[in-house]
Amino acid sequence: MVDIIQRCIVCGEDRTVGIAICEQFICQPCEQEMVKTDVLDEKYPFFIRQMKQIWLKKDA
């Protein structure tokens, strides 16, 4: 793997480990946080809002 620093769209931090969805980067800590976050968790709407940015950028 090549260490490429990318900005996480969820936390805004520059990181090298994470996943890319539709050319948008989500760091590993955020990805794992999202996976374990329950729909009823207060953080969930935040993740959804951040994720929506991906779709908005994709359509642009």
Judged by CB under 5 A, the number of residues near Zn ion is: 5
Dihedral Cα 20, 16, 13, 7, nearest 10 deg? -50
Look at residues 37, 38, 36, 16 and name the one whose alpha carbon lies nearest to residue 26.
Answer: 16
Closest CB to Zn ion among 19 and 58?
Answer: 19
The residue within the footprint of Zn ion, chosen from 2, 21, 22, 27 (CB under 5 A), is 27
- Measured in residues, the chain has a length of 60
Contact characters 1-20, Zn ion, x per CB under 5 A:
-------x-xx---------
Span from 30-38, 39-47, 51-59 in contact with Zn ion (CB under 5 A): 30-38
